[in-house]
Structure 1
């Protein structure tokens, strides 16, 4: 460069360049950017770079497994997880590992006619394209196919899978050949061919030119357990996602009316789940061989249909038939809930747990006792009939700022579970019948209770508890089996303490 700059004056005579051209060339060569590029080039020529390792894809997978449990509580871990899962980042790692391992496997020879068609694919919408990918033996591509007009068409690309990360194939692409072999029109055979392949794979496709929509940031909590191995309707059981009631799922694709793609926020796996519409249809279906004489069903064989009016006193029976599938939720920072609601059958110990919390943490919890600024009478005690505070405290809102603990009828949850009250709902369940008999006998023998309950009475409590759980479980944030009072109290206190230190998933209508 220095030699060229020193000879610029001689260039005008030897090349017949004008003074303006020489001035423009000199400006480019003396610019800081151009000089920096030249310096980088010289440094790279002198320095021979070697890869440190060739297993970075496995290393990143291990890192994602380690930080999986931290992504909900730590925003930095969540951001790191999103970066490491980006398709471009994953493709960069795969390319680096291939170069580092010197795995330069040549693709199968391509017919010149096909190569010409592939080069002109951008100009001819109906022309074929050649797509090359690299996979390991046994690795899933994360793609499903369907037969359409005697051709195999990509019907779904799983979010986060190999094909999705590379971004070379799209929904609607028609697969013509794999490694130079015709694929026919059998999706099962094609899946087997792809599963057995390893290394470089070349696809001959007719592209669809349909851009996939950016997945929305939608999170839901399912109100049911799901195992794709037991689902006869799922198009591909291997692609299904197993989840439990209460898990947090990110919905990444809802283009299919019946099958959504979702990612489990805890385990980080992605797969197919039944859509809201499909699951509602399944839950609403009532086989004819079932007893259909209950509320809202009527008798199938009856010619006369009896109308049912909504009766407030019997609304639990109507609530039992509400279809609870998915609830949209949002993650919010730790905050103090306005109310803690204890739900359970009669005699399960709700009031004892409530009193213990009020005694142990009077500065944090309160209950629905009215406040007054008058002086207490002789038979009145503070905190029982009234909370006695000064007039100044009343005017300043004294007594507020604490979480209100309620033990109410389950019917009240329909009113309380709103953004106004923001309740943390705890279901106190009775233990199994035999365990309940032992506990009740011990309490009676100790003189804590004087009334001896019969086995029939105890069975009613167990049945009532089961009914409450089955009918209102979609409202519950926590379930505690009260087979040991001190253990139940510790579990409840620990769960309430976590509300002050950990992010919480709440109904999205509490936030927006």
Structure 2
């Protein structure tokens, strides 16, 4: 055969050489049939697999460590006997003492045990009952350990064939590279699978020890040239945050409960495969299990959730759409010290948006760069839980670092007030224009005047390189969860009724009748309303919360919140992937 054109060098691996051979031979082969034959032969998956095995074994032989001798213990004993016959000196005495130590003797004994044992891979003998016509049958032997095989099987109801349904990424079957989707199972440990159900085969596998031997016929998905691999989608890394709890043992739709993976709301999952439109393969990020497990796909889970909740989820408290009416929430105040009252509510999105079904949210790691703007801190909680008090604690602790927004109002400025201090005072016409232009994140009307928090007031605080503390109604979060604000959402929960009786003795509820405000002590009914509202908020919006904080004791709660916000500024957190692309 004439010399090949210039190609790979002498150090090129056999597998790389094989991959370029077809193109190198093109100029010397005239017949189309010969070219097709050569291409098929050199591209055959079986040939590529054999070459890969050859290179692995060759690499093993080259890198395999070999002991210089396998009797180091006997050698040390001989040296000790020789030294005892030598004249006594400090060096001889020290060496004899060293060689007689139990730890040294144990070390040399372990060395000899390892050196005398063969660790070369042992290939199983081929079965004697292979038919000559079964040239496409594969005999596969996998060493079994505590982890599952990482493959699921199914039975063709028409032919009765047992085939490999899916290979779990990172599992033993996937790492071996020997079993593929579509392979037909013939025998397991010499036991024929004819007439058996998948459950029977799983039982055989569970009783197997040491190693499992499979006899399979390669399926159609593994046939064909290796240079033309099956095209799959979503090969890139993808991480999602789970917005619901999942237990495969309670899922009647999952094809194989043993292959399922449980997770909790808030877990970050690495999606390993989306080839199945209904069942994804995923791993919990940071988990110890290398094998992927089955989880419902986003589309499938959204459909299931939509069927379970045909009607919108109820709001903690109904807000009238009429602009002339506004629910007055009770506010806490210490005896003799009246707090500022929040007198406006969000008029947008007051009904649950059924399109926003909480399943998974694609996320990416994010860490605030030095000098970058701080993330918005959104405080959520039922009225009276102590949001104002928590904000005040943070502001007092570090007024140069934390700040709050200044609300807008259409009411007339009073004598003791300054524009831009207590409120931004604007005309009613301008307020309504800003409402029309969607400039308010929340707004409402009280006693004929508008009150609201504008988006620009949030931007103003952030632009001053401060952390903006903002308490909002939970349905406002959808308008704040943007790359611009990157909100860290803190949900503040009330403690038990018994605990609130002890800690809120001086708290009062403020109500407005006519033109005057009155206050009265909080009752158990008020506490129950607070707890009920918190439960509804958590059930409906809990998937959006980054931190859940129980305001049992104001001092300890504010300290915990401040530590959490410090971590947000310094450490890496998972955020929606869209926030990292801006």
Provide the TM-score with structure 2 as the length reference.
0.58
Structure 1 residue aligned with 2:580: 511
Query: What is aligned with 1:188?
Result: 199
Deviations along 1:155-188, one digit per CA (max 9) or x if unpaired, are 1111111111111111111111223331124111
C-alpha change, 1:177 and 1:351, in structure 2 (3 Å) is: same
Alignment of 1:47-66 (within 5 A): 48-49=66-67
* Partner in structure 1 of residue 293 of structure 2: 271
Aligned twin of 2:358? 324
- Counterparts of 1:100-111 in structure 2, within 5 Å, are 101=119, 104=122, 106-107=124-125, 109-111=127-129
How large is the RMSD of aligned CA atoms in angstroms? 4.0
CA distance in 2, matches of 1:267, 1:397: 39
Match of 1:337 among 360, 365, 374: 374
Deviation, 1:225, is 0.8
Counterpart in the other structure of 1:144 = 152
TM-superposed deviation, 1:105 = 6.7
* Structure 2: tracts of 5 or more residues without a match: 1-9, 11-60, 71-113, 223-228, 315-320, 324-345, 408-413, 425-459, 509-517
Give the distance between the partners of 2:68 and 2:356, measured in 1 at CA: 63
Judged with a 3 Å threshold, the aligned counterparts in structure 2 of structure 1 residues 378 and 310 are, in CA distance, closer, same or farther, namely closer
Task: Report whether the alignment pairs 1:156 with 2:166.
Answer: yes
Inter-CA distance 333–107: structure 2 relative to 1 (3 Å threshold): farther
Q: Which residue of 2 aligns with 1:429?
A: 493
Distance 1:381 1:265, change over 3 A: same
**How many residue pairs were aligned?**
384
**Structure 1 477/101 Cα, relative in aligned 2: closer, same or farther at 3 Å?**
same
Cα deviation for residue 277 of structure 1 reads: 2.4
CA distance in 2, matches of 1:461, 1:419: 32
Pair 197,423 (structure 1): closer, same or farther in 2 beyond 3 Å: same
Q: Secondary structure at the match of 1:500?
A: helix
1:344 touches 1:429 (CA, 8 Å); kept in 2?
Answer: yes
| Residue among 259, 270, 279 paired with 1:259 | 279
Within 1, Cα distance between the matches of 2:144 and 2:396?
62
Instruction: Report how far residue 496 of structure 1 moved.
Output: 0.8
Select between 320-329 and 419-428 the one with higher mean Cα deviation: 320-329
1:114-129 correspondence to structure 2 within 5 Å: 117-118=134-135, 127-129=136-138
Q: Which residue of 1 aligns with 2:307?
A: 285
The answer on 1:201 being equivalent to 2:212 is: yes
- Work out the CA distance in 2 between the residues paired with 1:177 and 1:319: 53
Moved more, 240-249 or 426-435: 426-435
Q: Which residue of 2 aligns with 1:358?
A: 395
1:363 Cα deviation (Å)?
A: 2.5
Q: Does 1:402 align with 2:466?
A: yes
- 5+ residue gaps, structure 1, are 1-27, 29-42, 53-95, 119-126, 298-308, 371-376, 388-395
Query: In structure 2, how many angstroms separate the alpha carbons of the residues matched to 1:432 and 1:254?
Result: 44
Aligned equivalent of 2:140, options 131, 135, 141: 131
Q: Describe how 1:231-242 pairs up with structure 2 within 5 A.
A: 231-242=251-262
Distance 1:381 1:495, change over 3 A: farther
Determine the structure 2 residue equivalent to 1:306: none
Map of 1:245 onto structure 2: 265
Deviation at 1:480, TM superposition (A): 0.6
Moved more, 179-188 or 418-427: 179-188
Quote how far apart the aligned CAs of 1:475 are. 1.9
CA contact (8 A) 1:316 1:411 kept: yes
* 1:266-308 Cα deviation digits (max 9, x unpaired): 3243311111122222212249xxxx8x6599xxxxxxxxxxx
Note the C-alpha offset of 1:420. Answer: 1.4
Structure 1 segments of 4 or more deviating over 6 A?
309-312, 380-383, 396-399
Distance 1:111 1:134 in 2: 22
- Residue 109 of structure 1 and its aligned partner are, at CA, apart by 2.7
Measured after TM superposition, the shift of residue 129 of structure 1 is 2.2
